A and B are shown apart, each in its own frame.
Chain A
């Protein structure tokens, strides 16, 4: 999707259309998550400190991310994708790989299928989409980034080499800064230079594994298949406080809210978790994490909070200010594998389950922030985390 978070904001609030919209953390320590094309003109880009973006684009509209909303739209886009192919591999909220092989009779040649897909997505969610079509995941991803917004770049079989040759080395997957410096020292500038260098020299200079890998990629060869079976390995939420948060009650209140969010997503996705992880960051920048194996797989807010609270009190027995607090549920098990029943259903547990279900129903109807447990605190800058299996290295 093109400038996804900003595009959603502009779609939801028509007064923002045509204006520079910057979505990200708004606190002192915030960074830009996405910005609209209008803002990019001013030199604003993602991962930039928000303070810098404000200087570059003083007239910009700065908004906090609404992850729930983005996830909601992302799910709708995904359903459109699934109409086109059973093999859909989401890469993030706004990117996915689709394997369209074998769908020619249904959707026609790649160009026609891609146009139909763009149209279907625009119709379903009213947002622009760029598509790259190629014989491998790597080339398709590079092609999709080439002509945004509303781009459509086709790389026909056999033309991968000439397509990639003029592009800068930064487009290569897995080539970090150190690798690129090394390549530049070798006098390489473009992907074509890597193609010309040949396999043997690549291996000599860059090592057996990476040399071979980069040489293959430079020729557009990427054996990785589109695998929809990427199961979530963990579900987590963390929040960075704009000002260090002191006071045990306030910290526990935020912890409770994080547990509610994690519990909500666990239930929504039909998981229970066997492991709970707590992440704490103390000023200036000391990060601690702790985890606990739960006595039985859980998905209920209050019991998640009970466990998180115990970890929390262990991790900081003396009250001290916090910079960041995060809760992650791991060792996820699908509820379809069944649930070990309990001999003694504690009344508290049963009440907790009923409470969670009731809260879920209210949130389904009136929105995520419509109701929460009494002790919860407000969370400003929220991020979501979902660790996929065998994540594809992000493009450099």
Chain B
């Protein structure tokens, strides 16, 4: 392989691939590497951690002799960003990739590992979605995913297209976050669903966002979900497993409805959290008339209560929550007001954190 290409173009093509390159121990030694293939007038770049694969390409490359090569991705990128030459020559020679420049010559050891075969599914069924929406839906649901490896199907974010809406859902069995966005362009009859590992989905969106484009094309394949933008394609492997039946656990028509100012809610929770037991944080919230009183106590620190003005409709009542679970969600709320509904201390509480953003949280029961 021998090629001549524009250095900036190469850097820009390589940078969005980096989120797929494992920083720690790779699942396969080959995954540390960047795969480059030169043919015709193109250079195709690929990287993968087996669950996530990213590819990009540069056109108008002068290919003197075609071929492919596997080089350590991160070191190669570091080198490229430090070179000033506008045009680069890359030559495969005696098991090394030679990079001769005006101010020095570099030899990169080429790996002979087997690079995994990557297939990127066809774009035929693609849906155009603003990148900002993808990121917002992800941030509104990712925190609710299970972090323990033991709940496999719950480690994922569910993506669903139905009735002209894109919905993301995350749950760890104690709380559930569901955020949707209407997509006017999408026909109501189109339906698709996929469960994606939340870390890979995060990396995929970082890659797509780094391209700077306004929108990305999303398509659901057989076993992958692909995002593409410009010359870059990102493919995320689906999780096989049954996501819990989440529609049925979102409660409707609850007797207590509360409007509370977001900043006051956060501040009250943070203050009484000081008095929570480390292992089992719990804050009691009592709604009565026009007030919510937050209280907590621990044997080591003491006790505290904070009261906040609210608008309540309903008879009020008491409910105990893990305050971290409320704060996680409220942090991603972009409105000034939080709408909260609950039935009693033994049933789930429902937070409305946006027009199409619902968060359901189970209480702590049996606390004396």
Binding site for B on A (CB under 8 A): 274, 292-296, 331, 333, 335-344
B322-365 vs A, CB cutoff 8 Å, 1 = contact: the mask equals 10000000000000000000000010100000000000101111
Q: Which residues of A contact B146 (CB under 8 A)?
A: 295
CB of B250 to closest CB in A, whole Å:
10
CB of A278 to closest CB in B, whole Å:
15
Starting from the known contacts A338-B367, A339-B365, A341-B362, 18 additional A-B residue pairs (CB-CB under 8 Å) come to A274-B279, A294-B150, A295-B148, A295-B151, A296-B174, A336-B366, A337-B280, A337-B367, A338-B282, A338-B366, A339-B364, A340-B174, A340-B322, A340-B364, A343-B171, A343-B176, A343-B249, A343-B348
B174 with A343: CB separation less than 8 A: yes
Scoring B148, B150, B245, B367 by chain A CB atoms within 10 A of each residue's CB, the highest score goes to B150
Q: Is the interface of A mostly helix, strand, loop or mixed?
A: strand
Q: Considering the complex, give the chain A residue whose CB is closest to the CB of B346.
A: A341
B365 with A341: CB separation less than 8 A: yes
Q: Which residues of B contact A343 (CB under 8 A)?
A: 171, 173-176, 244, 249, 348, 360, 362
B368 with A336: CB separation less than 8 A: yes
Q: Is the interface of B mostly helix, strand, loop or mixed?
A: loop
Q: Which residues of A contact B280 (CB under 8 A)?
A: 333, 337-338
A342 with B173: CB separation less than 8 A: yes
CB of B367 to closest CB in A, whole Å:
3
Q: Which residues of B contact A340 (CB under 8 A)?
A: 174, 322, 362, 364
CB of A271 to closest CB in B, whole Å:
12
> Does any Cβ of A come within 8 Å of B277's Cβ?
yes
- In the complex the two chains form, what is the Cα distance from A344 to B320 in whole Å? 18
- In the complex the two chains form, what is the Cα distance from A3 to B365 in whole Å? 45
Number of B residues near A (Cβ < 8 Å) is 28
Q: Which residues of A contact B368 (CB under 8 A)?
A: 336, 338
What are 20 inter-chain pairs, A to B, with CB distance below 8 A?
A: A292-B150, A295-B146, A295-B148, A295-B151, A296-B173, A335-B366, A336-B366, A336-B367, A337-B280, A338-B365, A339-B365, A340-B364, A341-B174, A341-B346, A341-B348, A341-B363, A342-B173, A342-B174, A342-B362, A343-B249
B244 with A293: CB separation less than 8 A: no
B227-251 vs A, CB cutoff 8 Å, 1 = contact: the mask equals 0000000000000000011000100
CB of B195 to closest CB in A, whole Å:
15
Q: Which residues of A contact B176 (CB under 8 A)?
A: 343
**Chain B 190-224 residues near chain A, CB threshold 8 A:** none
B366 with A339: CB separation less than 8 A: yes
Q: Which residues of A contact B174 (CB under 8 A)?
A: 296, 340-343
- In the complex the two chains form, what is the Cα distance from A292 to B150 in whole Å? 10
Q: Which residues of B contact A296 (CB under 8 A)?
A: 173-174
CB of A345 to closest CB in B, whole Å:
9
A344 with B173: CB separation less than 8 A: yes
- In the complex the two chains form, what is the Cα distance from A333 to B364 in whole Å? 14
Q: Which residues of A contact B244 (CB under 8 A)?
A: 343-344
- In the complex the two chains form, what is the Cα distance from A341 to B322 in whole Å? 11
- In the complex the two chains form, what is the Cα distance from A157 to B245 in whole Å? 71
- In the complex the two chains form, what is the Cα distance from A339 to B360 in whole Å? 17
- In the complex the two chains form, what is the Cα distance from A383 to B282 in whole Å? 36
Q: Which residues of A contact B151 (CB under 8 A)?
A: 295
A295 with B364: CB separation less than 8 A: no
- In the complex the two chains form, what is the Cα distance from A293 to B149 in whole Å? 10
CB of A290 to closest CB in B, whole Å:
14
Q: Which residues of A contact B367 (CB under 8 A)?
A: 336-338
Scoring A292, A293, A294, A295 by chain B CB atoms within 10 A of each residue's CB, the highest score goes to A295
**Contact A338 B249, CB 8 Å, known A295-B146, A343-B174, A343-B362:** no
Q: Which residues of A contact B279 (CB under 8 A)?
A: 274, 331, 333
Q: Which residues of A contact B346 (CB under 8 A)?
A: 341
- In the complex the two chains form, what is the Cα distance from A341 to B348 in whole Å? 9
Task: Pick the 9 closest A-B CB pairs, nearest first.
Answer: A338-B367, A341-B362, A338-B364, A344-B244, A337-B280, A336-B368, A295-B148, A343-B249, A295-B150
- In the complex the two chains form, what is the Cα distance from A343 to B348 in whole Å? 8
- In the complex the two chains form, what is the Cα distance from A138 to B282 in whole Å? 41
CB of A301 to closest CB in B, whole Å:
18
B275-297 vs A, CB cutoff 8 Å, 1 = contact: the mask equals 00101101000000000000000
Scoring B279, B282, B322 by chain A CB atoms within 10 A of each residue's CB, the highest score goes to B279
Scoring A292, A333, A338, A339 by chain B CB atoms within 10 A of each residue's CB, the highest score goes to A338
- In the complex the two chains form, what is the Cα distance from A292 to B148 in whole Å? 10
CB of A202 to closest CB in B, whole Å:
36
Q: Considering the complex, give the chain B residue whose CB is closest to the CB of A274.
A: B279
CB of A275 to closest CB in B, whole Å:
11
